[in-house]
């Protein structure tokens, strides 16, 4: 655990303000999107079937993992990022911001998987799922840029 903390500490020099602010805002957007789908899942159970095919995605067997809707997992993922960003603002400890940046890798992998399922397995799209894929990808891109740009020269050794 200590090693991980040291590793995270080493990765970045000081982070400019736009990074946590943009990560926080994009994550907030993702959180609203995923929360909407989660509420929809529990309140309505089933969306009506519209010409177009989002209900195929939202009712597919991939929409839940062991009974937990993936929308809820998505909401928790975005919430974790927001909490890390605010903790960073609160404590000024960069380890929290770095953690937030690394956590976005998880979201990116999950989004790749779910977009793959929509294209190749379910053969249908749901717009709210694609919005989430877009916010995850945006977070990932911000992370990659920040981690590359604001890396301490020392870590290159």
Partner 1 sequence: MKRILTWAGFIIVLGLIIWGLVVANKKPINFLPAALTLSTEVNANDWVKGSTTAPITIVEYSDFQCPACAAYEPYLEDLIAKKGSTFKFVYRHFPLPQHANAYPAAIAAESAGKQGKFWEMHDLLFKNQLDWAELKDSSETFTSYAKSLGLDMAKYAVDVKDPALRKKIEAQFKTGEDSRIYATPTFFLNGKSIDNPRSYDEFVTVLEKAAK
Positions that interact with partner 1 (CB under 8 A): 28, 31-32, 35-36, 39-40, 43-53, 55-56, 59, 79, 82-83, 86, 89-90, 124
How far apart are CB 157 and partner 1 at their closest, in Å? 37
Return d(Cα 93, Cα 90) in angstroms, integer.
8
How far apart are CB 155 and partner 1 at their closest, in Å? 30
How far apart are CB 35 and partner 1 at their closest, in Å? 6
Q: How many Cβ atoms are within 10 Å of 28's Cβ, its own excluded?
A: 16
- Class of residue 155 by CB neighbours under 10 A (exposed 0-12, middle 13-18, buried 19+): exposed
Return d(Cα 9, Cα 91) in angstroms, integer.
14
Return d(Cα 20, Cα 35) in angstroms, integer.
22
Instruction: Pull the structure tokens for residue 74.
Output: 């998505």
CB nearer to partner 1: pick between 47 and 73: 47
CB nearer to partner 1: pick between 67 and 153: 67
Closest to 132 measured CA to CA, from 111, 112, 118: 111
CB nearer to partner 1: pick between 95 and 147: 95
CB nearer to partner 1: pick between 35 and 137: 35
How far apart are CB 45 and partner 1 at their closest, in Å? 7
How far apart are CB 43 and partner 1 at their closest, in Å? 5
CA 3 to chain centre: 25
Contact 100, 87 (CB under 8 A): no
CB nearer to partner 1: pick between 82 and 147: 82
């Amino acid at each position: 655990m200590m090693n991980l903390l040291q590793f995270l500490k080493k990765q970045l020099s000081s982070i400019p303000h736009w990074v946590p602010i943009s990560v926080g805002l994009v994550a907030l957007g993702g959180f609203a999107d995923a929360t909407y789908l989660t509420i929809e899942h529990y309140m309505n159970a089933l969306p009506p079937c519209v010409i177009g095919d989002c209900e195929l995605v939202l009712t597919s067997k991939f929409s839940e993992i062991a009974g937990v809707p993936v929308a809820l997992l998505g909401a928790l993922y975005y919430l974790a990022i927001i909490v890390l960003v605010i903790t960073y603002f609160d404590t000024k400890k960069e380890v929290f911001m770095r953690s937030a940046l690394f956590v976005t890798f998880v979201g990116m992998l999950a989004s790749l998987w779910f977009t793959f399922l929509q294209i190749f397995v379910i053969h249908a799209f749901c717009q709210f799922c694609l919005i989430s894929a877009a916010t995850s990808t945006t977070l990932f891109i911000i992370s990659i840029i920040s981690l590359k740009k604001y890396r301490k020269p020392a870590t290159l050794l």
